[in-house]
A and B are shown apart, each in its own frame.
Chain A
Amino acid sequence: MKLEFKLKNSAQALKSLKKARPKEVLFAVDSTLLASAEGLAVLRLAADFCIERGAGLRIEGVSPCFMPGYSRYLLPAGTGALACPEKERCFLGGVCSGIPAKHAGIAGAFKPPPRIFTDLEKCMLAILARKNGITTAQVLKAAKGIKICASCSKEGEVFRAAERLVKFGLVSKKYNRGVYIWEKI
């Protein structure tokens, strides 16, 4: 199923989605919706609906800065994409493929989202910057040597932070024979 999300029809699109409950869905997002906070809120609701139900979700024409936390569902910007001038200072720069050509008219709206990493997220990134592609046990061992991690070496907080980074597309985790391998992308 393909759903067009424009600003004026976004509520209707959400309604249709809830009614159809598709197993696979592609959101095609219009520039007018991207420029509106209200429209983006509806788009997030629609995405959450699909994610919660386990539906296969792909979102076309949206850069990660508009939907932080949904990176894994966003399709690359495609041919003719413009380079984003803010990419260097954006925390999502690593997973951004630029501004889709169809949004060239609102390129000024593309800017780093106001995201400040938590201490634990910084900790996880610092650990993986020292040594990438390490196991959960190795992450916690390394955490003991980092000041900001001093309190979390026994508990799950560091991995909840890591899961958030996975959600942003900044870190990946792979399961293999009882062990998770954590990697900075």
Chain B
Amino acid sequence: MKNIRAQFPALRRRVNGKKIVYFDNACSVLKPRPVIKAVDHYLSVLGVCAGGRSGHALSAITEELCHEARVKTSAFLNAASPSEIIFTSNTTEGINLVAKSFPFTRAKNEVVVTAFDHHSNMLPFLEEQRKGNIKVKIAGLDGGWALDADRICGLITARTALVSLPRASNVTGQFFPVEEVAREAHRKGAVVLADAAQYLSTCREDVRAAGIDMLAFSGHKLGAPPGIGALYCRTALMRKLKNFKVGGGTVSNVVPGAGGAPQARYFSDFRRFEAGIQNYSGILGLGAALDFLAEAGLERIKRHTDGITAFCKRRLAAMETVEVLGPGGACGPIVSFAFRDKRIFAQDFNLFLNNELPRHVVCVRCGSHCAIPLHRARGVSQSLRLSFFIYNTESEVRVFLEALEEYLRSVR
């Protein structure tokens, strides 16, 4: 563990002389040294564009490194080819790309999402609905926290073009039955988009085995710099997507069309969606982050975070004053809870964690975590979320639990 923690320089940081306990990994994980080194390498000795624009030596090296990162990303998801990977800025952009470029038709214009969705997986489709382009159906809760495949599949009809659902909830961490939903969606001629933002830091993904047609994720939740992510899209489907952003790098040619007006001949592959100069330092950082995960071992990370998550949930569940959110069962490294006593304000406890502990500053997330519909559906106004990664320890969770107990004592 010491070796792992040493890979993350931010953990050595002190705030007002206090140690950092970082439990906001579902927002963004801290960055390991190999990623910092990869980004530094690009900025220090390359700093130029990749792709087919410039033919000089530095550009060729950058292009090779970016291609390597695309190959690694493709292998990470078990995609059929690196050409199925579109680099984006994050999950949100990936999903917006799909919402705006998906070839909806009059006969097939329905999208199914879930009440568990992060705003990023719901708003892009609601926006298209507002414009009158599609109809959005939301798979709701069962009165508790469960959302099984039947509930989602029940909304899939012959008019459904797309089912977009999270791999794991960013509030409760629970997993969703993507495989079952994909089978039903395919049977009805629809495709499946998975929001894997909260899934990939601990779970191995196999898009082909799971029947996922498109998948979006953010690099910064895996250790890459912010501002880089990817959208996996099956080759045949990618060809059907409409243009999203166009410009430099997206065309093979611009020829004189009817009346002499220039007419673009767009690429049919990922290049059509990567307009303009790209975030090369981020792409190389993503490649380094995937290497880091492979070296640390996703199974090992999962075992480690599962242990901490179970410990934290067990201890919180034993406290009468808080309600742990979620259905229990298999989940990612996320624990959210709300105070039962409505006089206790979660934001005050958040400030307490940042200011009042003698030796630590504990970083958690407080609020509705960009999932207001879910909080509203469950009658929870605010929750606190702890989320773990490979560098977190059980003793850090103890620091948090002691702080919570001390806080609750001070309130009484």
Contact = CB atoms under 8 A, between A and B. Distances in A.
A180 B351 contact: yes
Interface string B14-44: 1111100000000000000000000000000
Interface string B329-357: 00000000000000011011111100110
Interface in B352-401: 352, 355-356, 366-368, 372, 381-382
Interface residues of A, number: 19
10 contacts: A51-B16, A52-B14, A52-B17, A54-B17, A54-B18, A137-B348, A140-B347, A154-B382, A159-B351, A178-B407
B15 A52 contact: yes
A173 B348 contact: no
Contacts, number: 57
A173 B347 CA distance: 13
Cβ-closest 5 pairs across A and B = A54-B17, A178-B411, A155-B367, A137-B345, A136-B348
A175 B356 contact: yes
A52 B20 CA distance: 11
Contacts of A137: 345, 347-348
Given A154-B368, A178-B411, A173 B13 contact: no
Interface residues of B, number: 26
A78 B107 CA distance: 79
Main secondary structure of the interface of A (DSSP, over half): mixed
A53 B17 contact: yes
Given A137-B345, A155-B367, A178-B407, A55 B351 contact: no
Interface string A144-168: 0000000000111001000000000
A180 B366 CA distance: 16
B355 A175 contact: yes
Contacts of B350: 156, 159
Interface of B: 13-18, 344-345, 347-352, 355-356, 366-368, 372, 381-382, 407-408, 410-411
Contact of A178 (B344, B366, B381): B344
Nearest to A166: B355
Contacts of A175: 351-352, 355-356
A115 interface: no
Contacts of B349: 178
A80 B352 CA distance: 40
Nearest to B382: A154
Contacts of A52: 13-17
Given A136-B345, A179-B348, A54 B410 contact: no
Given A136-B351, A180-B351, A155 B356 contact: no
Contact of A177 (B16, B347, B366, B410): B410
A164 to B, nearest CB: 13
Interface string A46-72: 000001111100000000000000000
A175 B381 CA distance: 23
B1 to A, nearest CB: 24
Contacts of B381: 154
Given A136-B351, A177-B410, A178-B410, A156 B366 contact: yes
A135 interface: yes
B14 A54 contact: yes
A15 B355 CA distance: 29
Nearest to A52: B14
Nearest to B372: A154
A5 B344 CA distance: 47
Given A52-B14, A53-B17, A175-B355, A135 B367 contact: no
Given A154-B381, A156-B367, A175-B356, A180 B348 contact: yes
Contacts of A178: 344, 348-349, 352, 407-408, 410-411
Interface in A85-127: none
Given A154-B372, A177-B410, A55 B17 contact: yes
A177 B411 contact: yes
Nearest to B16: A54
A55 B16 CA distance: 8
